[in-house]
Amino acid sequence: MNSNSVAMTDLSEMKHKLETVCIFGTGDFGRSLGLRLLQSGYGVVYGSRGLKNSLLLPKGSKIMSHAEAACEAHVIFVAVQREHYGFLSSLASDLGGKVLVDVSNNLKRGLYPESNAEYLSKLVPGATVVKAFNTISAWALQSGGLDANRQVLICGDSADAKQQVTNIAQSLSFTALDRGSLRAAAELEDLPLQLFPLWRLPLNIAICLTAFIFFYVLTRIVIYERVTNGKDIAFRIMISLANKAFPIVSLVMLSLCYLPGALAGFLQLYNGTKYRRFPDWLDRWMLCRKQLGLVALAFGFLHVLYTLVIPIRYYVRYRINVYTISLVKDNKTYEFDNTAAWRFDSYYSMGILGFGLFVLLGITSLPSVSNSLNWREFRFVQSKLGYLTLLLCTAHTFLYGWNRFLNPESYRWWMPPAYMLSLVVPCVVLILKLILITPCVDRKVTRIRQGWERQGKTSANGGDTKINQRLMA
């Protein structure tokens, strides 16, 4: 690029920087947007019903009536709620040919039959309406590049109008993403109303599973001792029972991260093609595997913390003292058990290694880390090391139980120990994975993923076929 073209580019950017932008509305969002625009070199003029709000506006901006402000700028941000759009009808002549940027959201879904942006375009037919900045909060505008929310979703029917809004967004250090025509405005307006949509299923599973396991161990330990022996050991609820429920929930939820991938592999083997969509329940399950894993990691972390406080518990120190005193009184010696030493060291080693890899899986799921990995590296960590993590944690649980399942006293009220319940799902997942990685099966699955199809299975569902790439190896 020569010096003349560089100078022309700088001149064009300078002209763009000195452009005046109008904002209808002096609320939190309008003031934050105006401040950010001023910091980026834009001129800002506010349109308001009264001039009494001028003291709250950022220094350097102007405030005037809506009609006067509309004449000062080509791009106008409508930062008022839909129920206050009425005044725009009287400004139809002043807004003709202008670009109106609708930044509004609703309090709940389905509140109106049409999106706010589409309603605005009918209200002012002479203007060009663009939906943008509704997913950006006032805090994101104030904090600038320090805030993680830096993506501006844009939709509209005019390419030129969307480009103007895109230029403004980029000047404010945001990333603009074109989401299509104005018909997509309803979808954009629903985004801020979503409350962790991919976290609902994992959290519901975690809550239900925790409640079930906790009640199960409460029945086997506290209630059983109260009914059969008349002992009150309810104090164990706080630490002992919680530290039994948390690792079980963590292991089961970690298994649930990899179970849908194994099921998907067998479905592809059965169908003989990858060009057939998975059932909706399996598709939703696979989409929230990351959230399942992070919730499982949180429960695993709680298990580690609870385990670290065991030596300082009053109950544990009391039992150690009583046992030591009894040995002294009876003049007995606590003999070293080599088998027990191997068992406990192996048990702790498997737990430490499993939790370490578990933390690694959680770290690599962060966008800032996963974006620095290529697909093969990410797949190796999340799949290969993921299954190794599951194997180590399952071995950790087996070593915890050891031969306890052979002891009839472990089955209180015919209820097996809780750790045995936690082994069901991970063992199923590991067995299914073992089948999938056998050479004869793995060769066929690999061919299917590369596009091979068994005769008679091609387009068996007609129009209901699509490529599903969400399968975890």
Q: What is the pLDDT of residues 244-287, one digit of tens each?
A: 999 999 999 999 999 999 999 999 999 999 888 899 999 999 99
Q: Is the pTM of this model over 0.85?
A: no
Q: Which positions of the chain have pLDDT values less than 50?
A: 1-17, 147-148, 458-473
CB 36 within 8 A of CB 144: yes
232-259 CB burial, b ≥16 within 10 A, e <16: ebeebeebbbbbbbbbbbbbbbbbbbbb
Residue-level pLDDT at 456: 63
Of 78, 26, 29, give the one whose Cα is nearest residue 49. Answer: 26
Q: Are 404 and 417 in contact (CB under 8 A)?
A: yes
pLDDT value for 253: 97
Two structure tokens written together for 130? 């663009």
Q: Can you give the pLDDT at residue 52?
A: 66
Rounded Cα–Cα distance for residues 193 and 188 (Å): 10
| 211 vs 270: CA distance, rounded Å | 36
Say if residue 199 is exposed, middle or buried (CB neighbours under 10 Å; 0-12, 13-18, 19+): middle
To the nearest 10°, report the CA torsion of 405, 409, 413, 419: -30
Q: What is the pLDDT of residue 149?
A: 65
3-class SS at 102? strand
